[in-house]
Amino acid sequence: MSQSFDIAVIGATGTVGETLVQLLEERDFPLANLHLLASVESAGQSLPFKGKNLRVRALDAFDFSTVRLAFFAAGEQISRSYADKVRAAGCSLIDLSGGLPAEQALRVVPEANGEALQTLVAPYQLACPSPSVAALACVLAPLRGLLQMQRISLTACLSVSSQGREGVSELARQTAELLNARPLEPQFFDRQIAFNLFPQVGAADDAGHGLHERRIVEELKQVLGQPDLTVSATCMLVPVFFGDSLSVSVQNRAQIDLAAITAALEGAAGIELVGQGDYPTVTADAVGQDEVYVGRLRCGLDDPREVILSIASDNVRKGAALNAVQIAELLIKHYL
């Protein structure tokens, strides 16, 4: 990484955008110039970076031909509106919104399918999958030599930060109202989320599935390179500010070798395996960390071909921002 790059971060004032900027500094990303971009309403703010305060500028006036790479963390509509313009300018793009279709922007988790970049040509249009898929793919990638996966079932307990800064503010406000015996007035959510949980995240389609659930199913198959894999996903919104928890069941073709799986996870980079008798949680373990925490590793009670595990991961830092920065590091090391 001896060469330096001019890059842009779109949505720099959002929760994920701010974390992206922090990680670029922490990981000593080879930057020449960093351009922070956001909506007209957010332009004029500043963010700290390497001892300086960088001013945020308006996105609509930016010339993408002046940068080699752009991170888009500003919402689905922004990514869709600017993707063609970015490509025409010869700039590569990493989308964190999920707004670009898979045929336009390959979903990448470097630990699981980083080699897929070899089949593409510049300028690259790539995407981070949902944080749940990023965390699960990191755990399943080192197990692919041990498992012949037939079916994956997961329940994803998503923190309110999955809904953006507004979700975090709403949980804080509702919690304060209830603890101070004031009348609860839901605003961002349509009902009480404090001390409650929602068995559905967002609107459901005619078949009863939410958009996030469909994303998990489709993206996990793509990232693992197993289009015929059967995946079942249920998403729940829980009153936690940051960090997602997953309960995962993997149905294998043959009997599970739990000792081999344990050894593989213990030796995998980016994985922290919590030993028997303990379990990982987002607040005590995962929040603010780059690792994915795994625990409660066990075989099924009725089926020795089933392995069950729990995952805790920081959805904003690891699942979104760090995954995007790792994609960028892979790009500049081998392809840009």
Q: Along the chain (336 residues), what's the average pLDDT of each consecutive run of 10 residues? A: 84 95 96 94 91 94 96 95 96 96 95 94 96 98 96 98 96 97 95 98 95 96 96 98 98 97 96 94 97 97 97 98 97 88
Q: Which is it for the CA torsion 128, 130, 133, 138, positive or negative?
A: positive
Angle at CA of residue 93, ends 90 and 97, nearest 5°: 150
The domains found in the chain, sorted by start residue, are: 5-129+320-334 (3.40.50.720), 134-315 (3.30.360.10)
Q: What does DSSP assign to residue 331?
A: H
Question: Residue 300: what pLDDT?
Answer: 96
Residue 58 Cα distances to 38, 42, 207, 242, 243, angstroms: 5, 8, 40, 28, 30
> Cα–Cα distance between 325 and 58 in angstroms, integer?
22
Question: Residue 10: what pLDDT?
Answer: 97
> Cα–Cα distance between 184 and 175 in angstroms, integer?
9
Question: Residue 334: what pLDDT?
Answer: 85
Q: Which residue has the tokens 């068995």?
A: 199
Question: Residue 1: what pLDDT?
Answer: 46
**Within 10 A of 175 (CB to CB), how many other CB atoms are there?**
16
306-313/244-252 β-pairing = antiparallel
> Cα–Cα distance between 194 and 61 in angstroms, integer?
40
What pTM, to 2 d.p., does this model score?
0.95
Q: Which is it for the CA torsion 26, 106, 92, 113, positive or negative?
A: positive
